[in-house]
Amino acid sequence: MKSDRENILLTGLTCLVILCLFAALRLGQAREGGEMETVVVGFIYEGDESTPYTANFKRAADELRDKYGDQITILERFNVSESAPQEALTELVEEGCGIIFANSYGYGVYMKEMAAKYPKVQFCQATCSDANVEPVLDNYHNFMGEICEGRYVEGLVAGRKLRELIDEGRITEEEAWIGYVGAYPYAEVISGYTAFFLGVREECPSARMRLRYTNTWTNYNLEKDAAEKLIEEGCVIISQHSDTVGPAVACEDARLSHPVYHVGYNQDMISVAPTTSLTGCRINWSPYVSSAVEAMLRDVPIEKNVKGHKNGLDVGGGFDEGWVEMLELNHIIAPEGCEELINEAVEAFMRGTVHIYQGEYTGTDPFDPSDTIDLRTEYKENSTGSAPSFHYVLDDVIIVEED
């Protein structure tokens, strides 16, 4: 027969075991219900904060830090070569990153190779379209804002400015030329400037476009030079899909000798072109980045946690999910009614009633003349993925200039 001391000890041990089991159960329930842990988050950028594209992408990292505080550690690598990011990626993995974001298309092939090598790390690649292409890896993802929506809306503003210049007698209908500084003849660039041009034409049907490529994402001097040549060729509004403020500065410098205005991208450029910069648009990377990190903290699949338009391991979004935003409107030089014009267009996109790539136009693939398109049948951008896919130069109305 056990002594009283033995009974007391046995009872105490039993209670202790029960308490431990209860605590373990509660911990499991808390984890299943979304208990936050900690995660190391890595970013690699093709530029630094002096370039609008990288500065805009870095905003997502800064907002992530503000939102999660001590729950995350952020490691960043700037000015990483698109052709050789392996060292930076390996460093981030070895320093404990559970998730890594890369901001430029050129990193895609290397990010996917690293995903295959490190299956416990999540690799999230912006602007690519290979996440759903074999080999499909559960830890490799694509994402991008559907920026054609923003391009189209800023095109409406540019078109209204052209109409104002015509009505005031400062230019004629035939002089309604817009210029565009593009980085490369990739679908991402072509889709964007086409959306911009079709927005312009909604307000100014006589508009035509001249285009110059710099064949680099980030080169202030080349971008500024391309814009200056377009201005010399008679363009009165300049826009861009390139990563510096060079085109905006070119417009500001030319304003006294030539009526010219600028429409920007990624960041407000009114500060460098206060008398010529009309407005702009940007991708807001935060909805995806924040939701992907939250998925890591909650231990759930990224695509399950992100709000957007989903295609397998690829997610995108437009104005409706806050992935695309308009930048400040320069009220000093913007035509009357532009704020209402912007608001109405954004609301129309959110209702799904805008059809960008549609009209009495034909287009040709710049790399394959046998590949053509007739936009009397609407082309639906981003229907199968977040990365732009429209790759046709519109015949007769868009001219690609070469030196």
Query: Which residue is associated with the tokens 């690519």?
Result: 128
Whether 286 shows a pLDDT value over 60: the answer reads: yes
- The closest of 271, 220, 244 to 51, measured between CA atoms, is 244
3-state SS class at 14:
helix
In the prediction, which pLDDT does 11 show?
47
Do 301 and 328 lie in one domain? The reply is no
Do 259 and 341 lie in one domain? The reply is yes
* Domains: count for the chain: 2
Task: For residue 206, give Cα distances in angstroms to 194, 197, 314.
Answer: 15, 11, 38
User: Which CATH number covers residue 383?
Assistant: 3.40.50.2300
Do 203 and 351 lie in one domain? The reply is yes
Buried b (16+ CB within 10 A) or exposed e, 53-82: bbbbbbbbbeebeeebeeebbbbbbbebeb
Last residue of a domain, one of 317, 338, 361: 317
In angstroms, rounded to a whole number, what is the distance separating the alpha carbons of residues 213 and 130? Answer: 25
The shares of helix, strand and coil residues in the chain, as percent rounded to the nearest 5, are 40, 20, 40
pTM: 0.90
In the prediction, which pLDDT does 7 show?
46
Do 295 and 341 lie in one domain? The reply is no
Do 183 and 252 lie in one domain? The reply is yes
Structure tokens belonging to residue 27: 């911990």
Kindly tell me the burial class for residue 113, based on how many C-beta atoms sit within 10 Å of its own C-beta (0-12, 13-18, 19 or more).
middle
Look at residue 26 and tell me if it is in a domain: no
67-94 pLDDT, tens digit per residue, is 999 999 999 999 999 999 999 999 999 9
237-275 pLDDT, tens digit per residue, is 999 999 999 999 999 999 888 899 999 999 999 999 999
Residues spanned by the domain of 135: 39-145+285-317
- Write the DSSP assignment of 102-125 as a string of letters: E-SGGGHHHHHHHHHH-TTSEEEE
In angstroms, rounded to a whole number, what is the distance separating the alpha carbons of residues 169 and 132? Answer: 53
In the prediction, which pLDDT does 35 show?
53
In angstroms, rounded to a whole number, what is the distance separating the alpha carbons of residues 29 and 45? Answer: 38
Do 250 and 351 lie in one domain? The reply is yes
